[in-house]
Amino acid sequence: MSRDTVGVVIAAMNSAAFIDQALGSLAMQTTHADQVVVVDDHSDDDTVRLVERWRAILPLTLLRNRGPRRLGVWGARRAAIEVLETDLVLQLDGDDLVLPHHVAAMSETYAASPGLISPRPLTWTGQGPFRPATYTKGGLPLPGDQLVQLLAQNYVVVGSLYARELYERIGGYRQVAYGEEWDLWLRLVAAGARVSKPDEPSYVYRVRASSYAGGFARNEAETEVLNRFLGGSDHPVHRRAAKVALLQRTGIAALGPLAPVDGPLPEPVRAFAAGHDRALTRAHHDPDLGWVLSFDSGGAVVVTDDAARVIVHVVEKDGNHEAVEIADPLMRRDASSLRDILRGEI
């Protein structure tokens, strides 16, 4: 049986210090990619010349953005995928690299469980040994939990693999200021893609000072992705999870203008507010969340249902918002399958 063909897409902008390592790691694969597309996004260093040297070794296509503006990462990846002729898309950042079994491991995992394949990452500073990643992207929620947990936090690694047909069906990459991969992963999983991982690490994520853009608040930047998801979803469970994720990032302000409550609070909710250790300043009813109660002295926000059972308790601390209590099983990373909790709704 013939295997699905694999095309690698790389967005490059002033990547001269790293691009040889990225392309060299593709040349060393035990199973070679069928196509490699590099998009140069207005580099003013030696990136283009270095990429050109790999034409004799790799099935390489180099696209150069000659327009008046940079495409950005989302636009460069979109341009690369548009010229792919392969069944599968495999992403690689221009400053990262992969181990020799990467293409084989990712392809085999997809063949066993088609969907969104997230590599197991290693980290590297450019010196010393590769190290296992210590962040939550090493974990993987159960299939029934995956979309809700992906709304809570992006656990899919940038160098993932997915079907080009599904990518095109959901509209592909779209412009967001931050988190273009997360935006894509959410729509892929919402369209039915199951997230899987190979057994062994194969993607090397380079950790450097400019790996993350400076001068912005990441929590606030991530609200754009969540709000865009809300704009396209009418599933009550998913909407609730997205709004809880917004609260955990920027507090009650994330929900925008909230209409005041017309009439008294339900007695359990009123009694709960009266017994809180901080004074109630605002109460609102959100159609997806339930009762949103805002308290003074630290910006505490509590979301409850009509019986005043706490769903999430968020406290502002040092300018950040921390969830000090999450009772809703939707947001628990150790929850059993949500299909049991929700009686098969997902």
If asked whether residues 107 and 222 sit together in one domain, one would say: no
pLDDT of residue 322: 73
pLDDT at 9 over 90: yes
In 3D, which of 238, 230, 287, 236 has the Cα closest to residue 258?
Answer: 287
- Looking at the domain assignment, is residue 157 inside a domain? yes
pLDDT of residue 235: 93
Q: Which of 206, 241, 257 delimits the end of a domain?
A: 206
pLDDT band at 217 (very low <50, low <70, confident <90, very high): confident
DSSP assignments along 35-61, one per residue: EEEEEE-S--SSHHHHHHTTTTTS-EE
If asked whether residues 304 and 264 sit together in one domain, one would say: yes
Between 118 and 289, the higher pLDDT residue: 118
pLDDT of residue 344: 32
- Looking at the domain assignment, is residue 31 inside a domain? yes
pLDDT more than 90, % of the chain: 55
If asked whether residues 253 and 229 sit together in one domain, one would say: yes
- Looking at the domain assignment, is residue 346 inside a domain? no
The mean pLDDT of 88-97, rounded to a whole number, is 97
The encoded tokens of residue 178 equal 């931050």
Count of other CB atoms within 10 angstroms of residue 339: 14
Backbone angles phi, psi at 66, to 5 degrees: -105, 10
Give the C-alpha separation, 41 to 69, whole Å: 9
pLDDT band at 43 (very low <50, low <70, confident <90, very high): very high
If asked whether residues 196 and 222 sit together in one domain, one would say: no
**Mean confidence (pLDDT) of the chain:** 87
pLDDT of residue 304: 86
In 3D, which of 253, 303, 297, 268 has the Cα closest to residue 283?
Answer: 303
pLDDT of residue 333: 47
Give the C-alpha separation, 35 to 90, whole Å: 10
If asked whether residues 157 and 47 sit together in one domain, one would say: yes
DSSP assignments along 145-209, one per residue: GHHHHHHH---S-SS-EEEHHHHHHTT-----SS-HHHHHHHHHHHTTPEEE--SSEEEEEEP-T
- Looking at the domain assignment, is residue 95 inside a domain? yes
pLDDT at 246 over 50: yes
Give the C-alpha separation, 244 to 303, whole Å: 9
The single-letter code of the amino acid at 224 is: E
Indicate the range of 42-46, 106-110, 178-182, 250-254 predicted with least confidence: 250-254
- Looking at the domain assignment, is residue 268 inside a domain? yes
CA 332 to chain CA mean position, Å: 18
319-341 residue pLDDT tens? 677 777 777 666 654 444 343 33
Q: Which of 182, 206, 230 delimits the end of a domain?
A: 206
Give the C-alpha separation, 324 to 277, whole Å: 15
Backbone angles phi, psi at 166, to 5 degrees: -70, -40
pLDDT more than 70, % of the chain: 89
Q: The domain spanning residue 68 has which CATH number?
A: 3.90.550.10
- Looking at the domain assignment, is residue 212 inside a domain? no
Strand order through the sheet with 88-91: 60-64, 35-40, 6-12, 88-91, 161-163, 115-117, 194-196
Evaluate whether 238 touches 190 at the Cβ level (below 8 Å): yes
Number of domains in the chain: 2
pLDDT band at 214 (very low <50, low <70, confident <90, very high): very low
Give the C-alpha separation, 191 to 186, whole Å: 9
If asked whether residues 44 and 186 sit together in one domain, one would say: yes
Between 78 and 327, the higher pLDDT residue: 78
- Looking at the domain assignment, is residue 55 inside a domain? yes
The single-letter code of the amino acid at 141 is: P
Residues forming a β-bridge with 326: 312
Give the C-alpha separation, 319 to 321, whole Å: 7
If asked whether residues 86 and 176 sit together in one domain, one would say: yes
100-135 residue pLDDT tens? 999 999 999 999 999 999 999 999 988 889 898 765
pLDDT of residue 311: 81
pLDDT band at 13 (very low <50, low <70, confident <90, very high): very high
In sequence order, the 6+-apart residues with CB closer than 8 A to the CB of 330 are 148, 237, 240, 241, 244, 338, 341
- Looking at the domain assignment, is residue 211 inside a domain? no
The mean pLDDT of 211-222, rounded to a whole number, is 63
Give the C-alpha separation, 5 to 126, whole Å: 31
If asked whether residues 180 and 79 sit together in one domain, one would say: yes
pLDDT of residue 332: 55
Strand, coil or helix: 116: strand
If asked whether residues 224 and 128 sit together in one domain, one would say: no
Residues forming a β-bridge with 321: 316
Q: Which domain holds residue 39?
A: 6-206
Q: Which of 180, 206, 232 delimits the end of a domain?
A: 206
Per-residue burial over 229-255, b = 16 or more CB atoms within 10 Å of its CB, e = otherwise: bbeebeeebbbbbbbbbbbbbbbbbbb
Between 200 and 259, the higher pLDDT residue: 200
If asked whether residues 278 and 331 sit together in one domain, one would say: yes
If asked whether residues 148 and 280 sit together in one domain, one would say: no
CA angle, residues 247, 249, 253, in degrees to nearest 5: 55
DSSP assignments along 284-313, one per residue: EEETTTEEEEEESSS--EEEE-TT--EEEE
If asked whether residues 277 and 165 sit together in one domain, one would say: no
Between 307 and 137, the higher pLDDT residue: 307
